Structures are given as structure tokens and as C-alpha cells.
């Protein structure tokens, strides 16, 4: 791709205010942070919600407030919500956000393609849970954001395709550098991107110190990028300076500009990913051939 898909991950489930004051936690903080980044160039945003204590939550009313706050000013930006089971694994809770409707309906939802271990915690994704989430996303016309941390997860995506759970086009987040998964090196990136099914688009993300390296590699290689405080709270590898989402984004856009890759607009991405037309404002997506 000539244009650069920028997938902003502003909050995640791990960073707290004790780790960095810059991580947005309250709904209004998340809204303001995302809007500030949209001003300079974001294609899509991957949202996690937190409760009043800053603990990750599944409650759809909190997601609804965040989504509506973003869409009030940027109705075309692609909104992806998390269905992660990292902190809660009841299927009903993981599915709840998919039932948002009308102006709060998400465009996409995360679908992690297997269980995996993080440094101090497991993320359990049983096959029947993955399939049930995929079915519910299809029922509600929400496109899966396929999260793959190693080569086996891409193979499992192909299995789901053969079984009819996933439909083209496919969008993957490939995440490198987690201690128990694919490492942040050229061989891992080459293997995973080479194994993507036909009609796939992807963004590359790096965990911690590997974020800048993987994002730069994505820009050079023609892929999209996943960037934000969910994956990395530091601006430098020496960890002497905490980052904001905007700081990380500004540096990425400078790298992209130097290589002739401008940010893909949300409307253009909606066109290639087959996402629904935005109806909150008139003529929002004519650039992608909608309306």
C-alpha cells in the first residue's frame, strides 16, 4: 500500500496513572486524546474502556460514551472495540460491546486468534470462544480486527476462513516482541506477513522498546502501523522520557512523510475494508466512493 493505515491504541488494559500520567483512562480523557491525534492523522482507533478505578471494563455504556464522543467530531474515523478476555473471560461480557447500535455501533472488534502468555498474565481464548465471537461479529456486521502474536495464529485464521467464520477482506494486527510470542526481528515479520491469506491488510505493532523499530519497519515495507500507549509508554529506548500518544504519532508521521507515505484517510480505509457508510453526517465518505 502506498498510503499508511494508522491504527491508534491509546489506552489498552495495562498502563495506569501510576505508570504514566499521560495514559488516558477516563472516557473524557480517552475522547480528548483520540481527537487530538485525529487532528494530525489517524485511520482507525482501537479502544479499551476502564471503570472509575481505572480497571479495564466490558460495560457497553462506557464504550458508548467514548464512541459517541469521538464520532461527534470525527464520525468517519474507524472505531474498533476490544473483546479481550485478559481480565474477564465470560463470553457474555466479551460480547456485550458488540450489541451497541445506531451511532455507537463499532465498525470493528478485536479477535485474538489463540491463547497466549504475557509477562505476568495469560490471555485465554478457547476455540469455541473465538468462533462464538466471530459469529456474533458477522451477525452484527462488525468486521474482526484479527490479532496475531505468532505464526500459528495466522494459521488458525486460515482455519476459520475454511470453516466460514471469516469473510474477505481481512484486517490483521501483527504484534511483535511479546516475551512468549513472535520476536521483533526481520525473520518473524517476513514469515508472518508472507503467510497472510489473500485479500489481507495488516498493521504491525511492537511491544515496549520494539514499538518504534517495528513501526519504522512497517512504514519501509509498505504495511500499516499500530501505535500508542497500549503497547509502549516510553518515547526513548533508554526509558528516560515518557511519551504521549500524540508524541508517538508525530514521530511516526515524520518517518512516513520522509518515505512518501501519507496517512490513509478513514474513508479510504472503509472502502478497501468493506466497512459500512457513516451516516452521522452527510457526504462524509464520498472520497472512498460511498454515498
> Where is pLDDT greater, at 287 or 24?
24
Quick: pLDDT tens for 70-81.
999 999 999 999
> Average model confidence (pLDDT) for the chain?
94
d(CA 154, CA 149): 9
> Confidence band (pLDDT; 50, 70, 90) for 85?
confident
**Which whole number is the average pLDDT over 229-247?**
97
**Which whole number is the average pLDDT over 223-250?**
98
Q: Where are the domains of the chain?
A: 6-288
CATH architecture of the region 6-288:
Alpha-Beta Barrel (3.20)
* pLDDT given at position 287: 37
Question: Of 151, 60, 152, whose CA–CA distance to 109 is shortest?
Answer: 60
| Residue partners of 32: CB distance under 8 A and separation at least 6 | 24
Q: Over 60: is that where the pLDDT of 289 sits?
A: no
* pLDDT given at position 68: 98
Residue 95: all three cell numbers together: 460480547
Quick: pLDDT tens for 187-233.
999 999 999 999 999 999 999 999 999 999 999 999 999 999 999 99
Q: Over 90: is that where the pLDDT of 288 sits?
A: no
> Confidence band (pLDDT; 50, 70, 90) for 280?
low
Q: Over 70: is that where the pLDDT of 286 sits?
A: no
The answer, yes or no, to whether the previous bond of 131 is cis (omega within 30 of 0) is no
* pLDDT given at position 291: 30
d(CA 262, CA 255): 10
- Stretch among 88-92, 93-97, 220-224 having the lowest mean pLDDT: 88-92
Instruction: Map grid coordinates 503497547 to a residue.
Output: 231
Query: What share of the chain in percent tops pLDDT 70?
Result: 96
Query: What share of the chain in percent tops pLDDT 90?
Result: 89
Q: Over 80: is that where the pLDDT of 28 sits?
A: yes
Amino acid at each position: 500500500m502506498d498510503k499508511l493505515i494508522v491504527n491508534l491504541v491509546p489506552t489498552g488494559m495495562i498502563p495506569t496513572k501510576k505508570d504514566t500520567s499521560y495514559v488516558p483512562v477516563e472516557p473524557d480523557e480517552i475522547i480528548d486524546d483520540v481527537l487530538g491525534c485525529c487532528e494530525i492523522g489517524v485511520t482507525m482507533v482501537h479502544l479499551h474502556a476502564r471503570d472509575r478505578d481505572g480497571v479495564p471494563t466490558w460495560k457497553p455504556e462506557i464504550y458508548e460514551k467514548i464512541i459517541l464522543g469521538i464520532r461527534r467530531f470525527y464520525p468517519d474515523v474507524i472505531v474498533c472495540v476490544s473483546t479481550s478476555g485478559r481480565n474477564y473471560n465470560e463470553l457474555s461480557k466479551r460480547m456485550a460491546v458488540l450489541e451497541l447500535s445506531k451511532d455507537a455501533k463499532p465498525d470493528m472488534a478485536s479477535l485474538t486468534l489463540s491463547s497466549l502468555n504475557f509477562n505476568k498474565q495469560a490471555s485465554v481464548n478457547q476455540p469455541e470462544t473465538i468462533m462464538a465471537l466471530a459469529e456474533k461479529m458477522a451477525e452484527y456486521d462488525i468486521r474482526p480486527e484479527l490479532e496475531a502474536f505468532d505464526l500459528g495464529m495466522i494459521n488458525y485464521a486460515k482455519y476459520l476462513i475454511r470453516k466460514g467464520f471469516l469473510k474477505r477482506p481481512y484486517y490483521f494486527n501483527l504484534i511483535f516482541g511479546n516475551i512468549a510470542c513472535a520476536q521483533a526481528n526481520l525473520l518473524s515479520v517476513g514469515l508472518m506477513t508472507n503467510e497472510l491469506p489473500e485479500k489481507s491488510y495488516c498493521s504491525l505493532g511492537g511491544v515496549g522498546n520494539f514499538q518504534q523499530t517495528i513501526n519504522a519497519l512497517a512504514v519501509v515495507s509498505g504495511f500499516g502501523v499500530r501505535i500508542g500507549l497500549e503497547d509502549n509508554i516510553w518515547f526513548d529506548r533508554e526509558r528516560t522520557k515518557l511519551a504521549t500518544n500524540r508524541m508517538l504519532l508525530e514521530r511516526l508521521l515524520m518517518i512516513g512523510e520522509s518515505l512518501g507515505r501519507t496517512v490513509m484517510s478513514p474513508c479510504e480505509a472503509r472502502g478497501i475494508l468493506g466497512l459500512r457508510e457513516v451516516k452521522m453526517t452527510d457526504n462524509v465518505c464520498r472520497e472512498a466512493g460511498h454515498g
